[in-house]
């Protein structure tokens, strides 16, 4: 089958689009409001953009009534947000933090997780999460949607500090992903957990190509 998503119906019981780009890593994002209220929410429209310097983005759809998401407002107003790695052990807290609640509600309390301060950013991090990025807000690009809730704020940021819990760094110097068990979004109400890893290198790649694959900045 095929269909033009902007003008034709897919004819299926459920929209297949979100189930095509899978798995999507979860940007479990913490921020703080101008008045000091801590905020926490998952964003699966989240990615790294480049690695030197490390940059990230997330895409926040607006609410049907036109309101923008608190994470976007906080990032724009304070200039910062933090990313917390979402793990299988933390899945219920991730889910609880997705509730649409008033901006005055502390979503760390709602999700039952502990606050730990950032070093550079004014917002808290999730203490139970093994990896965090402190992200400095750069800009927002807004795209109109076909529907009000399709309208999206794409937020770009630069990673200024990376925290990794020592226990999840293996003897080989790599992050032990199988021990962390990150979760990611599929389509519908489905998720997956990363508990299998395999290695593959580009055949006959030179040192520079391999460095790009590994994410190693070019030596100047
Ligand atoms: C796993 C997961 C992923 C989500 N991804 C997104 C997303 O990419 N963009 C978005 O606008 N909302 C997403 N949501 C919904 C938001 O988390 C939800 O609207 C939340 O209340 C926003 O909080 P905030 O207003 O405090 O930023 C997601 C929800 C879940 C459970």
Q: What is the mean pLDDT of residues 200-213?
A: 86
pLDDT value at position 206? 87
Q: Where are the beta strands (DSSP E) in the chain?
A: 24-25, 27-32, 38-43, 46-51, 54-61, 80-84, 115-117, 124-126, 131-143, 152-164, 183-185, 191-193
| Of 113, 82, 80, 81, the residue nearest 96 (C-alpha) | 113
For ligand 1, atom 9: residue with the closest CA:
60
> 2 pLDDT exceeds 90?
yes
* 9 in any annotated domain: no
Residues 5-38: pLDDT tens digits?
Answer: 999 999 999 999 999 999 999 999 999 999 999 9
Give the 3-state secondary structure of residue 219.
coil
How is residue 110 written in tokens? 């709602």
When divided into structural domains, the chain yields a total of 1
* 199 in any annotated domain: yes
pLDDT value at position 27? 96
- Indicate whether residue 70 lines ligand 1 (CB < 6 A): yes
How far is the centre of ligand 1, averaged over its atoms, from the C-alpha of 184 (Å)? 13
Domain that holds residue 134: 23-214
pLDDT category, 210, cuts 50, 70, 90? confident
How far is the centre of ligand 1, averaged over its atoms, from the C-alpha of 217 (Å)? 32
Residues 149-187: pLDDT tens digits?
Answer: 899 999 999 999 999 999 999 999 999 999 999 999 999
Residues 23-80: pLDDT tens digits?
Answer: 999 999 999 999 999 999 999 999 999 999 999 999 999 998 999 999 999 999 999 9
- Indicate whether residue 108 lines ligand 1 (CB < 6 A): no
* 129 in any annotated domain: yes
How far is the centre of ligand 1, averaged over its atoms, from the C-alpha of 30 (Å)? 12
Ligand 1, from 24, 33, 41, 66: best to mutate by most atoms within 8 Å of Cβ? 41
- Indicate whether residue 98 lines ligand 1 (CB < 6 A): yes
- Indicate whether residue 125 lines ligand 1 (CB < 6 A): no
pLDDT value at position 160? 98
Helix/strand/coil percent split, the chain, to 5: 20, 35, 45
How far is the centre of ligand 1, averaged over its atoms, from the C-alpha of 24 (Å)? 13
How far is the centre of ligand 1, averaged over its atoms, from the C-alpha of 147 (Å)? 17
pLDDT category, 219, cuts 50, 70, 90? low
pLDDT category, 220, cuts 50, 70, 90? low
Average pLDDT, the chain: 95
The more confidently predicted of residues 218 and 187 is 187
* 36 in any annotated domain: yes
* 133 in any annotated domain: yes
| Of 156, 200, 130, 184, the residue nearest 48 (C-alpha) | 156
pLDDT value at position 184? 98
Residue 194: is it exposed, middle or buried by C-beta count within 10 angstroms (0-12/13-18/19+)?
A: middle
Which CATH number belongs to the domain containing residue 117 in this structure?
2.30.110.10
Please tell me the distance from the alpha carbon of residue 30 to that of residue 172, in angstroms, as a whole number.
31
- Indicate whether residue 154 lines ligand 1 (CB < 6 A): no
* 18 in any annotated domain: no
pLDDT value at position 28? 98
> 103 pLDDT exceeds 90?
no
Sole residue written with tokens 């999730």: 126
> 217 pLDDT exceeds 90?
no
pLDDT value at position 144? 95
* 7 in any annotated domain: no
How far is the centre of ligand 1, averaged over its atoms, from the C-alpha of 60 (Å)? 7
For ligand 1, atom 15: residue with the closest CA:
98
* 135 in any annotated domain: yes
């Amino acid at each position: 089958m095929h269909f033009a998503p902007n003008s034709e119906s897919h004819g299926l019981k459920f929209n297949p689009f979100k189930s095509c780009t899978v798995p999507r890593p979860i940007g479990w994002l913490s921020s703080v409001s101008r008045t000091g209220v801590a905020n926490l929410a998952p964003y699966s429209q989240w990615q790294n953009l480049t690695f030197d310097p490390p940059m990230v983005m997330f895409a926040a759809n607006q609410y049907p009534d036109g309101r923008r998401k608190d994470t976007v407002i906080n990032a724009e107003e304070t200039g910062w947000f933090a990313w917390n790695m979402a793990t299988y052990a933390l899945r219920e807290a991730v889910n609880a933090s997705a509730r649409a609640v008033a901006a005055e509600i502390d979503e760390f309390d709602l999700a039952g997780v502990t606050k730990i301060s950032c070093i550079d950013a004014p917002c808290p991090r999730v203490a139970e999460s093994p990896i965090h990025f402190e992200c400095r807000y750069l800009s927002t690009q807004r795209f109109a949607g076909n529907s009000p809730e399709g309208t999206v704020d794409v937020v770009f940021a630069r990673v200024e500090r990376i925290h990794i819990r020592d226990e999840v760094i293996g003897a080989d110097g790599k992050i032990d992903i199988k021990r962390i068990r990150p979760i990611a979004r599929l389509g519908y109400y489905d998720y997956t957990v990363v508990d299998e890893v395999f290695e593959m290198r580009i055949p006959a790649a030179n040192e520079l190509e391999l460095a790009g694959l590994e994410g190693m900045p070019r030596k100047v």
